[in-house]
Structure 1
Amino acid sequence: MQLAGKVVLVTGGTDGIGLRLARALRDAGAKVTMTGRTAARIAAAQAEGFEVLPADLAGPDGVAGLLAAISGRQFDVLVNNAGMGGTHDFREGAPVADEDERTLYLNLHAPIRLIAGMIPALRDRPEAMIVNVTSGLAIAPSTGAPVYCATKAALRSYTQALRSQLKDTHIHVLEALPPVVDTAMTAARTGSKLSPEECARQIVAAMQRNATEANVGIVRILAILNNLAPWLVRRIMLSF
């Protein structure tokens, strides 16, 4: 896709991967609108010149409000980037039900509902794209984050089916699978982390070449290994 002149909506765009995606897309010539839910981060993004639509997409009211806010507007690209991951580990204690519900809605329900709401407008564009940001953990789960992994695996499955449905249209469907990226969500984690700038760069490059998957960083190796020996990948990932 030629991104220059395209109008893009990035969810969760005021921090982390989303903010770097917004900057990279703008550098490529796109006009970017983003969503955010934290006042300070919204103000910071606005100071950079971005249009920000306040929206908490971890519940149905936030999704409905966003769809109402963009009704009648033209977008060429929807990037479903907003996501969260909470603790759900019975070795450490009882999970927090409300946190699980917010994770389920934000990571899975919200992208599906936004796609359903925006498909009619995307169909009207001469060239359009849907980008769903999942995770390398959509390929094989880790032991410590089963709810997060389940939502990303479900969104991966949905994305693959959606791509098949839209194969005869001009709406291209891309799945982006990042590794562990150095963001606020992973601040407590040790070990190697990819920079959010490099993650965004690889996703935007995949958009520009109309790829169907962007296996970012070390996920490229994970995907290859999974094709050869999925049992081995599951065993390795479940050790975390």
Structure 2
Amino acid sequence: MDISGKTVLLTGGTAGIGQALARQLMTKGATVIVTGRSPERLEKSRADGFEAIAADLSSPAGADAILQALGARPVDIVINNAGQGVDHDFRKAAPDMALADDCIHANLNTPIRLIAGLMPRLKDRPEAAIVNVTSGLAIAPNAGAAVYCATKAGLRSYTQALRAQLAGTNIRVIEVLPPVVETQMTAGLENRTMANRKMAPQDCAREIVHAIENDREEANVGMVKMLRLVHSISPKLAARLMLRF
């Protein structure tokens, strides 16, 4: 897909991977609409030339706010990039279920709601793409991030089923599986082995752009390539390796 001239809706586009991705897409000639929660970051994005929509994606109101702000505008590419982590480890403390619900909604329910809301206009475009950013943890979970991993595995399954539904249409369905990336969400990562291998957001964003331009169905980013290889040989070994972290 040629990104130039396309209108892109990018959730979580004011920081981390999303911010780097927004800038690279703009450089490619796309009109980029970002979403975020922080008033300061939203204002900075607007100053940088992006349209920015305020939306908290941890409840149904977030997707509703985005769809309302878009009005009837055409959208060629929707990138479900926003992600929310949550501690859910019974070895440490009783989990906060309100925070778990927020994570489930932000990472799984909101992408589904946005795709459903945007599907008619995506079908009306000459070519379109849905890009869902999951995680290497969708393949093999981390023991301490049970809810986060479950949401990403759920989005991975949804993406695969959606791709089958839309086969032969004008809409490409792409899944991107990043490794641990240097973002606000991973700033407090305790495991030093993983923390020391964090990928730069700019490098991750570059691989996402490459996947879109080359109509890739699945893009395994950075260390996830190795995880996919291990998983293809022995799913049990991949699970054991990841569950330690």
Equivalent position of 1:53 in the other structure: 53
Give the letter for the 1:163 counterpart. R
* 2: CA distance, partners of 1:182 / 1:12: 15
Q: How does 1:17-96 map to 2 (within 5 A)?
A: 17-96=17-96
| Correspondence 1:191 to 2:196 | yes
Equivalent position of 1:203 in the other structure: 208
* 2: CA distance, partners of 1:99 / 1:79: 24
3-state DSSP of counterpart to 2:162: helix
Give the letter for the 1:213 counterpart. E
TM-score by length of 2: 0.97
Q: Please report how far the alpha carbon of residue 181 of structure 1 lies from its aligned counterpart in structure 2 after TM superposition.
A: 0.1
Q: Please report how far the alpha carbon of residue 191 of structure 1 lies from its aligned counterpart in structure 2 after TM superposition.
A: 2.2
Equivalent position of 2:153 in the other structure: 153
| Correspondence 1:101 to 2:106 | no
Equivalent position of 2:115 in the other structure: 115
* 2: CA distance, partners of 1:63 / 1:9: 12
Equivalent position of 2:192 in the other structure: none
3-state DSSP of counterpart to 1:113: helix
Q: Residue deviations 1:46-102, cap 9 Å, x none?
A: 111111011111101121121122131101000000111111111110111111010
Runs of 4+ more than 6 Å apart: none
* 2: CA distance, partners of 1:108 / 1:74: 24
Q: How does 1:130-141 map to 2 (within 5 A)?
A: 130-141=130-141
Q: Please report how far the alpha carbon of residue 109 of structure 1 lies from its aligned counterpart in structure 2 after TM superposition.
A: 0.1
* 2: CA distance, partners of 1:64 / 1:5: 26
* Match 1:233 to one of 213, 238, 244: 238
* 1: CA distance, partners of 2:87 / 2:26: 34
* 2: CA distance, partners of 1:92 / 1:36: 31
* 1: CA distance, partners of 2:219 / 2:31: 22
Give me the CA root mean square deviation. Answer: 0.7
* 2: CA distance, partners of 1:126 / 1:141: 38
- Name structure 1 gaps, 5 residues minimum: none
* 2: CA distance, partners of 1:197 / 1:158: 27
Equivalent position of 1:212 in the other structure: 217
Give the letter for the 2:203 counterpart. E
3-state DSSP of counterpart to 1:185: coil
Q: Residue deviations 1:160-213, cap 9 Å, x none?
A: 000000001010000000000000000112321000000000110011000001
* 2: CA distance, partners of 1:186 / 1:65: 27
Give the letter for the 1:207 counterpart. I
* 2: CA distance, partners of 1:55 / 1:73: 18
* 1: CA distance, partners of 2:122 / 2:156: 20
Give the letter for the 1:237 counterpart. M
Give the letter for the 1:183 counterpart. T
3-state DSSP of counterpart to 1:211: coil
Say which is worse superposed, 189-198 or 2-11, in terms of deviation. 189-198
Give the letter for the 1:216 counterpart. V
TM-score by length of 1: 0.99
